[in-house]
Structure 1
Amino acid sequence: MKTVLITGCSSGFGLETARIFLDRGWSVIATMRTPREDVLPASDHLRILPLDVTNQSSIERVVDAAGPIDVLVNNAGIGWLNALEGTPMDVIRETFETNTFGTMAMTQAILPHLREQGSGTIVNVTSSVTLKPLHLLSAYTASKAAVNAFTEVLALELEPFNVHVRIVLPGRAPDTSFGQNARARLQSGIPDAYAELAQRVFTSWQQDAGAVTHARDVAEAVWRAATDPTCPMRLPAGADAVALMTNR
């Protein structure tokens, strides 16, 4: 039985990914800041562990407790939307600490195990906003684009050790708690000079009846990235993300 360790499993993409791997016979280590036993069905093949990807001691405890794994899914992340002028530097640092440095730290901690066993896959969940510039997302996009670049170089480093690295790029997901809970936070403190632009952006979101991404789309993409050796390094997840990748 193979084992996957997934970060950010309390809701959304991470939770659905954990469900899929459990349903398909894998041993799952589901991590979250505050563990909740009620979000996943009880199983002998499931462990729920506390993890803060911005805390090195927390990362080391999880890696030690996990033991040998076959796949690491770096899914934990936070969002932010504002003009750069309205974004405090501590918010930018917080965004990078979770989205970028958290991914790098988790990867660095697990790499010796994957390298020594001579196999494994790392799947980094980023965002389709890295495929097309969008208003008010400079800090968030930068944190995810950095992971894309990191992943591409890491893949070259790990190729001699038979360790694969993939990127999953989800599209817009309004039906996840990430999207729902983020809106109030994302819209706070927009400078007056950008208020008209921000209102146009928010209105276009509300009126947009086009394709979106669902948690299941992302989970299926992660599954393919983890199990299909022929899949491309960059894998869009969701109809809107697929369209962006195609048009790009």
Structure 2
Amino acid sequence: MPAILITGCSSGFGLAIARRFLDRGWRVIATMRRPDPDLLPAAPGLTILPLDVTDPQSIATAVAQAGEIDVLVNNAGFGAAVPIELIEPDTARALFETNLLGTLAMVQAVLPQFRARRAGTIVNITSSVTLKPLPLVSVYRASKAAVNALSESLAAEVAPFGVRVRIVLPGRAPETRFGANAMPHLRGLDHPDYKPMLDAMIAGFRESGGPVTQMEDVAEAVWRAATDPDAPLRIPAGADAVQWMAEAG
């Protein structure tokens, strides 16, 4: 059976992707920093491994334990919604360390086996916030836009080896823990100028009305990226992401 390795499977998109591929008969290597065997139903094709994409030794160990895979999904990442003026340098570094350099490290770890076999697919999950400028997510947006750029060049580099690269761009997903995970990095609620913006952003995280992205939208977009050779380089996931991509042209 084909095999897929997914990073960041402890919740949200990663967990939904793992479930989708298990349901469709794939061997799934679900990775997360702190493995929880109760997150996914026990199945003959399921392996849960510890993996921190910012730790080279953790990456090497997980990839070795995973064995031969057909698809790599770089999903691990986090967000921070902070005014540029107030973002902590350590937070900015961590965003790029996880979202961009973690993706790069995983690609470097897996690409040799894909290139040797002249087959394989890399799916990088970024964000629809890269499609238009938005306040308060500048550094997060920059880290994900960097992954888009990396993916575009990577696709050209590895196409001669029979390796495909796809980018999945989810929209706003109230079901995920994105907002909750971003809250510890929040700065400016006590700032007279930035507080109104931040209050509106927090309310937006909790708002479920209007076009949004469901976790299953992302799982299905990744399925398409992994199984359809004719899928486009960029695949929006979610009604809002589809709308934003159409507006961006």
The structure-2 alpha-carbon separation of the partners of 1:54 and 1:29, relative to structure 1 and needing over 3 Å to count, comes to same
SS at match of 2:98: helix
Residue aligning to 2:184 = 185
- Distance in structure 1 (CA, Å) of the matches to 2:242 and 2:93: 30
CA shift in 2, pair 1:203/1:19, >3 Å: closer
Moved more, 197-206 or 84-93: 197-206
User: Could you tell me the percent identity over the aligned residues?
Assistant: 58
Deviations 1:101-123 (A, max 9, x none): 00000001111000001100000
- 2:165 corresponds in structure 1 to 165
Deviation string 1:168-223 (CA, Å, 9 cap, x unpaired) is 000000111233x2253253345723223323444455567211101110000000
Q: CA deviation at 1:23?
A: 0.6
Q: Does 1:58 align with 2:58?
A: yes
1:129 maps to what in 2? 129
> What does residue 147 of structure 1 align with?
147
Tell whether the 8 Å contact from 1:86 to 1:191 is kept in structure 2 after alignment: no
Amino acid at match of 2:4: V
Query: Relative to structure 1, is the Cα distance of residues 83 and 62 closer, same or farther in structure 2, using a 3 angstrom cutoff?
Result: same
Contact 1:6 1:31 in 2 (8 A): yes
The answer to whether the 8 Å contact 1:127/1:169 transfers is yes
**1:214: which partner in 2?**
214
Aligned letter for 2:227? T
Q: Which amino acid aligns with 1:35?
A: P
Alignment gaps of 5+ in structure 2: none
What are the Cα deviations for residues 218-240 of structure 1, in whole angstroms up to 9, with x where unaligned? 00000000000111000000000
Provide the TM-score with structure 2 as the length reference. 0.95
Q: Distance in 1 between matches of 2:208 and 2:27?
A: 39
Using the TM superposition, give the Cα deviation of residue 247 of structure 1 relative to its aligned residue in structure 2, in angstroms: 1.2
Deviation for aligned residue 1:66: 1.0
For residue 99 of structure 2, what is the aligned residue in structure 1? 99
Residue 76 (structure 1) shift:
0.3
2:8 and 2:88 map into 1 onto residues whose CA distance is: 25
Q: State the one-letter code of the partner of 2:195.
A: A
Aligned twin of 1:194? 194
Instruction: Kindly indicate whether the alpha-carbon contact (under 8 Å) linking 1:154 and 1:165 is maintained by their aligned counterparts in 2.
Output: yes
CA distance in structure 1 between the aligned counterparts of 2:221 and 2:115, rounded to whole angstroms: 24
Q: Which secondary structure does the structure 2 equivalent of 1:48 belong to?
A: strand
Contact 1:86 1:190 in 2 (8 A): no
Once the two structures are superposed, what CA deviation does each residue of 1:38-59 show, in whole Å capped at 9, x if it has no partner? Answer: 0101011000000000000000
Distance 1:3 1:204, change over 3 A: closer
Asked whether the equivalents of residues 128 and 236 of structure 1 are also in contact (C-alpha less than 8 Å), the reply is yes
Residue 22 (structure 1) shift: 0.5
Q: Deviations over 1:43-94 (max 9, x none)?
A: 1100000000000000000111111110000000111001011101110001
1: CA distance, partners of 2:190 / 2:85: 7
Give the AA of the match of 2:130: T
Give deviations 1:143-173, integer Å, cap 9, x for gaps: 0000000000000000110000000000000
Report whether the alignment pairs 1:21 with 2:17.
no
Aligned residues: 247
Which secondary structure does the structure 2 equivalent of 1:124 belong to?
strand
The answer on whether the counterparts of 1:165 and 1:233 sit within 8 Å (CA) in structure 2 is: yes
Q: Secondary structure at the match of 2:52?
A: coil
Letter in 1 for 2:142: A
Long gaps (5+) in structure 1 = none
Q: Distance in 2 between matches of 1:92 and 1:202?
A: 20
CA RMSD of aligned residues (A): 1.4
